[in-house]
């Protein structure tokens, strides 16, 4: 799956390209490349899990026979448990159902993102998460 379909992978690639422009020596850093490849693979796996959950929602019928439609996304923490789910509503009767996203992809992606962030911070003093957030804020302000 290409990053143009996956907004998270797009954002990661965008941020990392910016980092690579600032620090061209990264192109010959094997550990950086390995961590980046792992993160892109995990971001893709996570995205595919999300897509599969949405496909399940669309295939599921409400008890009244109506078509379900994803309406909301809930993400948070309850005690030690991270939950990530999509709320779907029936187009016919409006009753809601909750579908849990699998957690494996999310956890792998988060772990890989932290590993890459730690490595860039320790070895280069760069925080790519700050760069991505800065870019998002600049776009929101129409820059
Ligand atoms: Zn219904």
Neighbours of 16 (CB within 10 A): 20
What is the pLDDT at residue 128? 87
Question: What distance in angstroms lies between residue 96's CA and the mean position of ligand 1's atoms?
Answer: 8
Cα dihedral across residues 132, 134, 140, 142: positive or negative:
negative
Question: What distance in angstroms lies between residue 81's CA and the mean position of ligand 1's atoms?
Answer: 30
Question: What distance in angstroms lies between residue 71's CA and the mean position of ligand 1's atoms?
Answer: 14
Tell me which residues have their CB within 5 A of the ion that is ligand 1: 62, 64, 66, 90, 92-93
Please tell me the distance from the alpha carbon of residue 38 to that of residue 84, in angstroms, as a whole number: 22
Q: Where are the domains of the chain?
A: 7-140
What is the pLDDT at residue 129? 86
Given a cut of 50, the residues of the chain with pLDDT beneath it are 1, 143
């Amino acid at each position: 799956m290409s990053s143009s379909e996956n907004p998270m992978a797009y954002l990661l690639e965008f941020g990392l390209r910016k980092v690579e422009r600032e620090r061209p020596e990264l192109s010959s850093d094997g550990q950086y490349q390995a961590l980046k490849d792992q993160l892109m693979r995990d971001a893709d796996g996570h995205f595919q899990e999300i897509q599969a959950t949405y496909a399940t929602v669309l295939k599921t019928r409400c008890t009244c026979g109506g078509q379900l439609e994803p309406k909301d996304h809930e993400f948070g923490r309850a005690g030690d448990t991270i939950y990530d789910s999509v709320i779907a509503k029936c187009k016919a009767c409006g009753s809601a159902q909750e579908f849990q996203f699998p957690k494996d992809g999310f956890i792998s992606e988060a772990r890989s993102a932290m590993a890459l962030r730690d490595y860039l911070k320790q070895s280069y003093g760069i925080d790519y998460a700050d760069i991505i957030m800065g870019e998002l804020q600049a776009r929101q302000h129409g820059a």
